[in-house]
């Protein structure tokens, strides 16, 4: 999306025919985009050398059912689509500046508008948010229908997914109401496991993936920016929080020279029978592989999807190298897959290298299903990376206290807790104490994280967790303490809102 709303508003459509007809203003913008792409390619040549070219992805000892996905902007919409379509293998989804499943509502009936209806909705209601909960119920109905037909996995599997949602209050492109709709969509399916969803809205980021640095560095922006490369420094380690919300407490990231390897691969192998161009995908994708994974140690896979104008052609290797995923992956046996789009000015019409979340490839509603061209391509990549998976070893079944419990993030009304796995645990019980010092059970979960909600802003709390194995509750963990953030001041000018500490 990003500046797509500005571009698409300048485009006049004809019903069917030879493709999009653009006016002189849009031609100028597209030519400028091509110039930017050429400049960015020059930047590509200047970044540190990647590992030697590899035609195909290698298979690693990574169980496909331990996979996860996250994305920013159009990548966030695609992450929702992929995680919903393939909920049988995706255990967690990170959504940064994105919205609900089937937001653009594209299907074959859009022939009556020359297939411009989805573009109008994508750049209109999907940027501003649905007008009512009734529209969100349409997204649920669509998902239910696709599950019933077998085009996507059973939606009961969403109940076990860990969901991270993020809206920066300086985001001038995607409104909070859009991400609110994503929360409503997920909560419909989570039901009693609502603690699996954590929603952060108190960081003053612009439309961006957020990294930890406090001061502006080369290649990234100040916290409230809404400009390329759409990576903002806000003192907030978003990649680490996403990965820990999905997988539980992890080892600290490697902030020094990484030991793993960043490798190129040929995406055309995975787009077949189509060419990458036909799907608005790049010829080359990237994968980060830790040393242990190259030695066939047990590993897991996270798919990180860039947003519009964040592909290699537009911003060089910044998204692949500077968003924080690799530092966490290097010390936690996580393989990070970075598929790449590319801009396309004709057919398909995708001048900003966005992921297909409004059916720009074939103008049908299969773009949200397993058979969707880009979804099946990403799945083929995931299948290749996990092809070397070996059977897991039996787990220990003795109850014990969780060794590590951490508060990995707080908002004004919630806290995100994560801990290390206790082998053989069937369930974890989370308890919280407020100002009165009395602990109360606030939830139970099968996973290794829990979003505790309904908290008061700027208030301190304590938590501990216990493991229940074969019906026997073990000892509680050491208490952890955290204070919730302040509620951001009301502001109707995103991009210029005052940053709240």
Catalytic positions: 73, 171, 207
Q: Is 315 helix (H, G, I), strand (E, B) or coil?
A: helix
Tokens coding 414: 């919630």
Residue 100 CB burial class (10 angstroms; 0-12, 13-18, ≥19): buried
Rounded to 5 degrees, φ, ψ at 4 are -60, -35
Q: Which residues of 398-424 are buried (b: 16+ CB within 10 A; e: fewer)?
A: ebbbbebbbbbbbbbbbbbbbbebbee
Burial of 84 by CB count in 10 Å (0-12 exposed, 13-18 middle, 19+ buried)? buried
Query: Three-state DSSP class for 442?
Result: strand
**Whole-angstrom Cα distance, residue 151 to residue 149?**
6
DSSP state of 477: P
Provide the phi-psi class of 324: left if phi over 0, else alpha when psi is between -120 and 50, else beta.
left
Are the C-beta atoms of residues 56 and 287 closer than 8 Å to each other? no
Using the CB atoms, write b or e for 195-213: b if 16+ within 10 Å: bbbbbbbbbbbbbbbbbbb
Residue 260 has which token pair? Answer: 């793993």
Among left, alpha and beta (phi > 0; psi -120 to 50; other), residue 360 is: alpha
Confirm if 428 and 443 have CB atoms less than 8 A apart.
no
């Amino acid at each position: 999306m990003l500046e797509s709303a500005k571009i698409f508003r300048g485009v006049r459509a004809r019903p069917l025919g030879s493709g999009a007809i653009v006016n002189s203003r849009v031609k100028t913008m597209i030519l400028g985009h091509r110039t930017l792409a050429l400049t960015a390619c020059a930047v590509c040549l200047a970044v540190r050398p990647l590992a030697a070219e590899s035609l195909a992805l290698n298979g690693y000892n990574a169980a496909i059912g331990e996979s996860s996905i996250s994305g920013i902007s159009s990548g966030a919409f695609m992450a929702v689509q992929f995680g919903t379509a393939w909920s049988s293998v995706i255990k967690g989804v990170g959504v940064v500046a994105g919205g609900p499943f089937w937001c653009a509502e594209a299907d074959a009936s859009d022939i009556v508008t020359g297939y411009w209806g989805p573009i109008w909705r994508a750049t209109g209601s999907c940027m501003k948010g649905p007008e009512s909960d009734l529209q969100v119920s349409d997204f649920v109905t669509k998902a239910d229908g696709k599950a019933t037909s077998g085009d996507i996995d059973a939606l009961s599997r969403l109940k076990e997914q860990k969901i991270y949602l993020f809206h920066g209050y300086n985001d001038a492109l995607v409104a909070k109401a859009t991400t609110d709709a994503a929360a409503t969509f997920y909560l419909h399916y989570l039901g009693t496991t609502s603690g699996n969803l954590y929603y952060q809205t108190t960081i003053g980021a612009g439309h961006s993936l957020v990294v930890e640095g406090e001061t502006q560095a080369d290649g990234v922006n100040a916290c409230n920016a809404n400009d390329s490369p759409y990576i903002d420094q806000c003192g907030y380690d978003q990649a680490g929080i996403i990965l820990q919300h999905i997988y539980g407490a992890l080892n600290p990231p490697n902030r020094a020279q990484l030991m793993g390897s960043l490798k190129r691969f040929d995406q055309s192998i995975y787009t077949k029978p189509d060419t990458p161009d036909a799907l608005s995908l790049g010829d080359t994708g990237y994968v980060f592989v830790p040393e242990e994974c190259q030695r066939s140690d047990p590993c897991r896979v996270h798919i990180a999807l860039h947003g519009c104008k964040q592909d290699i052609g537009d911003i060089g290797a910044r998204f692949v190298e500077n968003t924080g995923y690799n530092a966490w992956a290097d010390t936690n046996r996580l393989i990070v897959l970075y598929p790449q789009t590319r801009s396309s000015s004709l057919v398909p019409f995708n001048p900003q290298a966005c992921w297909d979340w409004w059916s720009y490839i074939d103008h049908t509603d299969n773009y949200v299903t397993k058979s969707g061209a880009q979804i099946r391509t990403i799945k083929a990549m995931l299948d290749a990376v996990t092809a070397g998976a070996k059977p897991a070893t039996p787990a220990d079944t003795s109850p014990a206290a969780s060794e590590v419990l951490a508060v990995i993030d707080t908002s004004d009304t919630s806290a995100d807790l994560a801990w290390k796995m206790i082998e053989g645990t069937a369930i974890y019980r989370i308890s919280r104490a407020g100002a009165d010092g009395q602990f109360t059970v606030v939830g139970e979960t099968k996973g290794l994280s829990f979003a505790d909600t309904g908290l008061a802003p700027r208030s301190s709390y304590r938590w501990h967790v216990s493991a229940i194995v074969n019906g026997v509750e073990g000892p509680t963990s050491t208490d952890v303490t955290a204070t919730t953030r302040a509620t951001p001041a009301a502001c109707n000018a995103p991009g210029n809102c005052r940053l709240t500490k």
